[in-house]
Amino acid sequence: MSAPRAAGENVRLAVADGVATITLAKVKARNSIDIPMSTEILASVEEAASRDDVGVILVRADGPAWCVGGAIDAFLEVGDGMHAYMLELGKSINALVRTLHECDKITIAAVHGAVGGGGVGIMLAHDIVLAQEGTVFALGYSRIGTNPDGGNTYFLTRDVGYRRALELYLLNSRLDAAEAHELGMVNRVVAAGELDAVAGELAARIAAGPWLAHAAAKALLRRAQDGLLARQLDDEIRMFADNTRESDFSEGLSSFLEKRPPRFGGR
């Protein structure tokens, strides 16, 4: 067993018995994603994916939320540099999504609390998703006047279908764990207080299996549907960045922080 290692200020990595456990620990900010956070998560996932003593990667979180998506405070701080900031942020997020989806390890997300925005896309990039009762899922992009990123347009369309994926975006629908399970976004709903135990048991069971066969099965199943992921990730972040130049994005951020309905221009 390797001792827990801090990948950075907000992420921990520990390896034991074939399972690499990555813990998101930016607790006060509910594991929101800015460039340092996405870079730290990516570094941990890439390290776990490259290790010969790892067959399963389990991503869990400390605090009240698994990941609420983009760090709104960081968006505000960069001001007029938002377009360039999003393109830079997209590099690490897109690499993270592709690594989780394409590496030869089985990846498991154990989510709780709130999963929002880009956090939903990162979650959906995992092979298996466990959600604790009480977890709430929401995209939130239409609320701030931009399009989904983080692989959401790819994975949601694949998992729930075009019409429901578009509806979830347009209406900014909030889903509970049972609804997400019914739609096919999560594999199982786990009783409150049992998430870590159930996720650990599942990871250990998979890690005790034939890793090379697992990798082959994952590759075959993935390739049966893949083909546009890389292009989709690039298009998502480019269009997101372009949307940040529009007045609707500024209005969306302001109304979000002021807790009032947005007044979009509609053009």
**pLDDT of amino acid 118:** 97
Mean pLDDT of 191-218: 97
Residue 256 has pLDDT above 90, yes or no: no
Nearest-angstrom CA–CA distance, 29 and 153: 25
Model pLDDT, residue 35 = 96
Confidence of residue 6 (pLDDT cuts 50, 70, 90): low
The CA-CA-CA angle for residues 257, 260, 262, to 5°, reads 95
Burial class (CB in 10 A: 0-12, 13-18, 19+), 3: exposed
Compute the chain's Rg from CA coordinates: 18
Give the dihedral sign, CA 133/97/14/72: negative
Q: How confident is the model at residue 1 (pLDDT cuts 50, 70, 90)?
A: low
Judged against a pLDDT cut of 90, whether residue 227 lies above it is answered with no
Residues 151-169 as b/e (b if ≥16 CB within 10 A, e otherwise) read: bbbbbbbbbbeeeebeebb
At residue 98, does pLDDT exceed 60? yes
The pLDDT tens digits of the residues spanning 32-88 come to: 999 999 999 999 999 999 999 999 999 999 999 999 999 988 988 988 999 999 999
Give the tens place of pLDDT for each residue, 172-201. 999 999 999 999 999 999 999 999 999 999
**Main-chain dihedrals φ then ψ at residue 255, nearest 5 degrees:** -70, -35
Q: For the residues 93-114, what does the mean pLDDT come to?
A: 97
Residue 172 and residue 69: Cα distance in Å, rounded? 14
Scan for tokens 């890439």, then name that residue: 46
The vertex-40 CA angle with 38 and 42, nearest 5°, equals 70
Has residue 161 got a pLDDT over 80?
Answer: yes
Q: Which domains does the chain have, with CATH numbers?
A: 5-194+211-258 (3.90.226.10)
SS3 state at 84: helix
Task: Please give the backbone phi and psi of residue 45, each rounded to the nearest 5 degrees, phi first.
Answer: -65, -40
| pTM, full prediction | 0.91
The pLDDT value given to residue 229: 82
pLDDT score at 228? 75
- Type of residue found at 189: V
